[in-house]
Amino acid sequence: MRNGKPVVEDATFGLRAAGPALAVNESYFKKKLITWDPDKMKIK
């Protein structure tokens, strides 16, 4: 981003990479099981 080159990956790639980690944090703080659906990219 700093050198002006185009971004290689899109937002979908970012969500697929970050989604499971966000689900882990949500599960920890809510003290309940959270499942991540990678196909629909949603928390169940």
- Per-residue pLDDT of 9-19, as tens digits, reads 888 888 888 88
8-state DSSP, 41 = T
Residue 12 has which token pair? 């979908």
- Give the pLDDT confidence score for residue 25 in this predicted structure: 92
Enclosing H/E stretch for 16: helix 11-30
pTM score, whole prediction: 0.62
The residue type of 12 is T
CA atoms of 4 and 41, how far apart (whole Å):
29
44: pLDDT strictly greater than 80: no
